[in-house]
């Protein structure tokens, strides 16, 4: 019986290049092959964002991106807490200026200092930003500190934006011409599906907390319920997560070679970044020989995967190596190995308790 092994090695890069994918492979446009990505992007750190918006997002298992003007933050404990729970804290500069009215040196100070303050207080990297008043800065300066930035062009971005420092978003709330309530939010999300786009909702105030263009928390709740009910359709990710996914996905290069009775397949993410490690999981699909099953392992452990219409679907993380072993005999051996290992761990834990 031939031994079939998939060797996947992903290495990190920054320049976005066209994916080089051989026949039999497919890289998911959005995570888990969903049809559209959604990001909930909150500006200015308004009073009800933590007590109202955060619990509403978490009720449905989602996380948002909160863009802070560092000079406006009075205390950091609440923002650190939500960051520790998976929400993204991103930059909205230090003083919320019109960047186009600043010199290059002044723009650098706004972007660099904001990033520094957030990272010192949150304890995590700050790698994305949004422009005050939606007025863009100088791309080359922004790229020194961030991997992507948000504008407000009242649209949604394509799966592969031409410029990661001009990601589209749409204002919601009382000052929005089109997105004021649950129905509007849902319709905009549905439109993103038609173009397989990235839908970024630009949100400020919640329940009249004094923030600009407030939305009602009940409308946000109803909309999130709709998104969850259509879970196979939408991928909800933070601004950083979706940005990383796009950069990595667009740089994947897969090659195969024969070595005797083995088939080796090398998958590299050829992207680099001076700002962050590109380590967000990218979903891929590989067609299997007719009638074959398969498992995927990483460091000797079976990882999550699923079989679908003659293919295996799983995630790869840049910088890691995976093995795909396909045929029923090997699957059985791996399954026995995993089960026996789990039983031994349980027995060992039980002995320790008895001994204690």
Q: Tell me, what's the pLDDT at 354? A: 65
Q: Tell me, what's the pLDDT at 260? A: 46
Cβ atoms within 10 A of the Cβ of 126, count? 27
Nearest of 31, 43, 20 to residue 200 by alpha carbon: 43
Q: Tell me, what's the pLDDT at 342? A: 65
Q: Tell me, what's the pLDDT at 324? A: 77
State the DSSP string of 135-148.
----HHHHTTT-SE
Q: Tell me, what's the pLDDT at 261? A: 42
State the DSSP string of 162-225.
S-TTSB--EE-STT-SS--SHHHHHHHHHHHHHTT-EEEEEE--BSSSS-SS-B-HHHHHHHHH
User: Which tokens belong to 19?
Assistant: 């994916």
Per-domain residue ranges of the chain: 5-19+268-342, 33-244
The CATH code of domain 33-244 reads 3.20.20.370
Q: Tell me, what's the pLDDT at 7? A: 36
Q: Please provide the size of the chain in residues.
A: 356
Give the start-end residues of each E strand in 14-113.
Answer: 25-27, 36-43, 65-68, 88-91
Q: Tell me, what's the pLDDT at 17? A: 38
Which stretches of the chain drop beneath a pLDDT of 70? 1-19, 256-265, 267, 326-342, 349-350, 352-356
Q: Tell me, what's the pLDDT at 338? A: 57
The strand pair at 65-68 and 198-203 is best described as unpaired
Q: Tell me, what's the pLDDT at 1? A: 37
């Amino acid at each position: 019986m031939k031994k079939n092994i998939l060797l996947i090695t992903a290495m990190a890069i920054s320049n976005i290049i066209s994916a080089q994918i051989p026949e039999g492979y497919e890289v998911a446009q959005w995570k888990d092959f969903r049809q559209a990505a959604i990001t909930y992007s909150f500006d200015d750190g308004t009073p009800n964002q933590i007590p109202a918006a955060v619990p509403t997002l978490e009720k449905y298992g989602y996380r948002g991106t909160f863009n802070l003007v560092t000079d406006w933050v009075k205390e950091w404990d609440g923002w650190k807490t939500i960051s520790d729970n998976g929400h993204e804290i991103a930059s909205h500069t230090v003083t919320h200026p019109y960047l186009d009215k600043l010199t290059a040196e002044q723009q650098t100070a706004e972007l660099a200092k904001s990033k520094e303050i957030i990272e010192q207080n949150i304890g995590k990297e700050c790698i994305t930003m949004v422009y005050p008043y939606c007025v863009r800065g100088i791309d080359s300066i922004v790229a020194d500190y961030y991997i992507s930035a948000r504008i407000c062009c009242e649209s949604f971005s394509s799966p592969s934006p031409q410029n990661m420092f001009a990601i589209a978003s749409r204002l919601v709330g009382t000052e929005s011409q089109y997105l004021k309530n649950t129905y509007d939010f849902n319709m905009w999300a549905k439109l993103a599906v038609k173009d397989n786009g990235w839908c970024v909702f630009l949100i400020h105030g919640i329940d009249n907390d004094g923030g600009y263009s407030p939305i009602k928390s009940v409308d946000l709740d109803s909309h999130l319920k709709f998104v969850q009910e259509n879970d196979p359709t939408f991928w909800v990710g933070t601004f950083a997560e979706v940005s990383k996914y796009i950069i990595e996905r667009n740089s994947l290069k897969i090659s195969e070679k024969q070595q005797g009775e083995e088939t080796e397949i090398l998958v590299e993410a050829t992207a680099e970044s001076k700002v962050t490690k590109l380590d967000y999981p990218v979903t891929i699909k590989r067609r299997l020989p007719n009638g074959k099953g398969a498992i995927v392992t990483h460091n000797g452990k079976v990882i999550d995967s699923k079989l679908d219409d003659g293919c295996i679907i799983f995630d790869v993380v840049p910088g890691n190596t995976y093995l795909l072993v396909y045929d029923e005999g090997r699957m059985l051996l791996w399954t026995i190995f995993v089960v026996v290992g789990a039983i031994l761990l349980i027995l060992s834990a039980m002995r320790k308790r008895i001994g204690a």
